[in-house]
Structure 1
Amino acid sequence: MFDYARDFLRFLVSPPKEQAKALAVIKRMRLGRHYLGKCGYWRSLLTGRSIDQDGNPIPWMNYAMVGFLKERLSSNMTMFEYGSGYSSLFFASYCRSVLSLEHNRDFYELFHGQARANNDIRLVGDSIEDYCGFIKEGDTLYDVIVIDGLHRNECAKQCLDNLTPNGVILFDDINEYAWDEGIRHLKEIGFKQLTMGGLKPQSYAGASTSVGTMENFVPWRGNSNMRRPTYEHRQSPFGSSDGRPQSGRSVRRGRDSARTDQGAGRTSPERRTGRASDRRTRRCAA
């Protein structure tokens, strides 16, 4: 808070020309031409809700992860969500079905009335048995499990039996040390981790969200509704086309090998010039 006050005082005593520049930037942001305006950040601050520029609900996650989910989620997916909210409304607009748990009655009543027909929000107790173990009461398998509520470390351990073979775990706020145990457990059993961080709605601080996937598959591959990311090596960011992780170093090594193969049997102009000068030198010496 002291930093904000200091910057504001500095703005007040700055020359009129500098003030005009700052006001012009703020005006562009308010008009939505700036990134923060386009993603709806300013509107979320003014309304106190996690929404985009058009007023549509979005998860209370960083904007990079929200954009990633918009591309990857599809209408044939089933989702289980620990913790409800604006994210429940968002996920229900992309997935076939969403089952969300909520332990706070006020929060439950707020979003239960706004839920779509394919979004089932359940009010449960806040104990580990009632909250984390709820997913085990049925034998339903889910394509995506979101961990964004209570007891996240324990949820990461108890939800695995209800995850499909090609399933994905979405673990929010991994920048908080309290959840290190859950992240470490997923890594120990073979999950690969993709983390995105940045600013999120209604917040002045950055936050990180992680996507957890098993090592032997590429998540969400083959969904007809998914827009493919345009990477240079045309592979998923989680690994190669056969599901094995592929590092940038191996990609560069492949490109270098291809250049070597293409250049085999050909002589560069510099080398041709050097050989000609050598022949002339030998003639003069003779």
Structure 2
Amino acid sequence: MKEFLLYVRFAIDYALNNKTLSHIKQFIRWYKDKKSGDTTLNRRSPWMTYDAVDFLSATCRPGMSVFEWGSGGSTLFFASRCKQVHTVEHDPDWKDFLNKKIEELDLKNVSIQEIAGKPIADFNERDYRNPDDFVSKDKKSAGLSFEDYVKAIDTFPEEYFDLVVVDGRVRNCCVKRAIPHVKKGGYLIVDNTDRSYYLAPFPELQDPSKWKKTEFQGPVFFQHAFSKTSFFKKA
């Protein structure tokens, strides 16, 4: 009953604020998953809204190249469906744990690059909303710059990737760096875009002549809070 009431609370809140009821249909799926004891890692699933995961399942193809900031179930998901997956992870312990999973599953098409934040002296002078400042508002990341983490994608040519997934640190900074690296016809995917500052600096993503936007709002595996995942297909 507690889970049901929490779901109803968030469902009503989302309906009022986002003028959509599309997430209601996912209640049974969310409820069963909440009781399952599973994780996104053993499910090999992205930790995104259910509709976003379904959209990705229909979109991924064996010949695709993927770049992602932030590793986890999504890394295993893409590795089982796409040609190659390049992942950047800021947490060394999580990277080591995930690497063991990749070895156990004998996945040969995944590379994980560990790039932690670096201490900087002018952290308090920077703004997490500025995509050129490379800092996070997360308390655990205080005092750190994620510039090297963000710029890891620059080792690849422009318009190289079929999918670029932004689901880690300093996401607005990653979005800016990702845009030129998405192929025509490819997707830029940004999770948790209910945090408006992720996309606010990029009006070009709202231009239908340049990008086709598809968004999915609603429940997320094993979470009570609802979220939004945004897909931008490059024209």
Structure 2: distance between partners of 1:134 and 1:105: 16
Q: How much does 1:57 deviate?
A: 1.6
Contact 2:69–2:88, Cα closer than 8 Å, also in 1:
yes
Check the 8 A contact 2:192/2:229 in 1, yes or no: yes
Deviation, structure 1 residue 37: 5.9
Structure 1 residue aligned with 2:108: 117
| Residue 166 (structure 1) aligned to one of 185, 188, 191 | 185
Seen in structure 2, the aligned counterparts of structure 1 residues 124 and 168 have a Cα distance that, compared at 3 Å, is same
Q: Is the 2:43–2:73 Cα contact (8 Å) retained in structure 1?
A: no
Pair 64,36 (structure 1): closer, same or farther in 2 beyond 3 Å: same
Rg (Cα) greater in structure: 1
Task: Report the equivalent of 1:96.
Answer: 83
TM-score by length of 1: 0.57
Q: 1:35 aligns with which of 29, 35, 51?
A: 29
TM-score by length of 2: 0.69
Per the alignment, do residues 71 and 41 of structure 1 end up closer, same or farther by CA in structure 2, a change over 3 Å counting? farther
Pick the structure with more strand per residue. 2
User: How many pairs are equivalent?
Assistant: 180
Structure 1 stretches of at least 4 aligned residues deviating more than 6 Å after TM superposition: none
How many angstroms does 1:146 deviate by? 0.3
**Which residue in the other structure is 1:202 paired with?**
222
In the alignment, the residues of structure 1 paired with residue 80 and residue 34 of structure 2 have an alpha-carbon distance, to the nearest angstrom, of 21
Which of structures 1 and 2 has the larger relative contact order (alpha carbons within 8 angstroms, sep 6+)? 2
Q: Does 1:129 align with 2:123?
A: no
> Any stretches of 5+ residues in structure 1 without a counterpart?
9-33, 217-286
RMSD value, Cα: 2.5
> Which amino acid is 1:119 matched to?
V
Deviation for aligned residue 1:187 = 2.4
1:200, 1:207 within 8 Å by CA — same for their partners in 2? yes
Shift in alpha-carbon separation, 1:197–1:137, aligned structure 2, 3 A: same
- Report percent identity of matched pairs: 27
1:9-88 mapped onto 2 (5 Å cutoff): 34-36=28-30, 40-43=33-36, 46-47=37-38, 49-50=39-40, 55-88=42-75
Once the two structures are superposed, what CA deviation does each residue of 1:202-240 show, in whole Å capped at 9, x if it has no partner?
Answer: 2011111011023x4xxxxxxxxxxxxxxxxxxxxxxxx
CA distance in 2, matches of 1:107, 1:78: 23
User: Counterparts of 2:201 and 2:113 in 1: how far apart (Å)?
Assistant: 23
In 2, are the aligned partners of 1:41 and 1:200 still within 8 Å (CA)? no
The CA deviation at 1:177 is 2.6
Q: Distance in 2 between matches of 1:91 and 1:113?
A: 17
List alignment gaps of at least 5 residues for structure 2.
7-27, 118-144
What are the superposed Cα offsets for residues 82-103 of structure 1, whole Å, 9 maximum, x if unpaired?
Answer: 1111110111111111001000
